[in-house]
């Protein structure tokens, strides 16, 4: 159900940061780590599955929107996630 804007103490602009503002140029990250970093959460923090899913819901579209800025590396094993980092040739 919609709520009145007056019901909120803090209304902020809806802005996403650019990948270089979130990721280190010389590092590769899993999508789970990127999702945490986007929200200011330590990449190694243990999260429950529901919270992890919510963070991924934000991260995946952000990554797709900035796909031209990313490179990809295959995971070490088939049951692990791949790695993403900033492209050097931007």
Q: Tell me, yes or no, whether 1 lies in a domain.
A: no
Q: Tell me, yes or no, whether 37 lies in a domain.
A: yes
Query: Residues 55, 40, 32, CA angle at the centre, nearest 5°?
Result: 40
Q: Tell me, yes or no, whether 62 lies in a domain.
A: yes
* Residues 3-31, mean pLDDT to the nearest whole number: 92
What local confidence, expressed as pLDDT, does residue 22 receive?
A: 95
What local confidence, expressed as pLDDT, does residue 13 receive?
A: 83
Domain that holds residue 42: 20-86
Please indicate, yes or no, whether the overall pTM of this predicted structure exceeds 0.85. no
Q: Tell me, yes or no, whether 2 lies in a domain.
A: no
Secondary structure, 3-state, 19-43:
HHHHCCCCCCECHHHHHHHHCCCCC
Distance CA 61, CA 43 (A): 19
Is the per-residue pLDDT at 49 higher than 90? yes
Distance CA 68, CA 63 (A): 9
* Residues 4-30, mean pLDDT to the nearest whole number: 92
Is the per-residue pLDDT at 20 higher than 80? yes
């Amino acid at each position: 159900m919609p709520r009145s804007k007056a019901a909120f103490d803090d209304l902020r602009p809806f802005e996403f940061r650019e990948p270089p503002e979130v990721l280190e140029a010389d590092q590769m990250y899993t999508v789970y780590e990127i999702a945490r970093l986007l929200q200011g959460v330590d990449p190694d923090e243990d999260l429950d599955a529901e919270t992890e899913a919510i963070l991924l819901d934000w991260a995946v579209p952000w990554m797709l929107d900035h796909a031209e800025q990313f490179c990809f590396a295959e995971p070490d094993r088939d049951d692990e996630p791949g790695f993403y980092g900033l492209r050097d040739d931007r």
